Amino acid sequence: MNYDWHDWQPVQLTQSLIMNKNVEKRYIFDLTITKID
């Protein structure tokens, strides 16, 4: 059980990091569009 958890953890961490970056980009993108409008 422990071993599985350790295998799974890095993948989850990487995915959430990628998601956070995407959310940040989306947010900045939305800001730029609002400024243009």
Structure tokens at 17: 């990091």
The pTM of this model reads 0.45
Q: Is the pLDDT of residue 18 over 60?
A: yes
Question: How confident is residue 7, by pLDDT bands cut at 50, 70 and 90?
Answer: low
The CA-atom distances, in angstroms, between 9 and each of 16, 23, 27 are 11, 21, 27
- pLDDT for the residue 34: 81
| pLDDT score of 3 | 54
Q: Name the helix (H) or strand (E) containing 13.
A: helix 2-36
Q: How confident is the model at residue 35 (pLDDT cuts 50, 70, 90)?
A: confident
Higher pLDDT, residue 33 or 4: 33
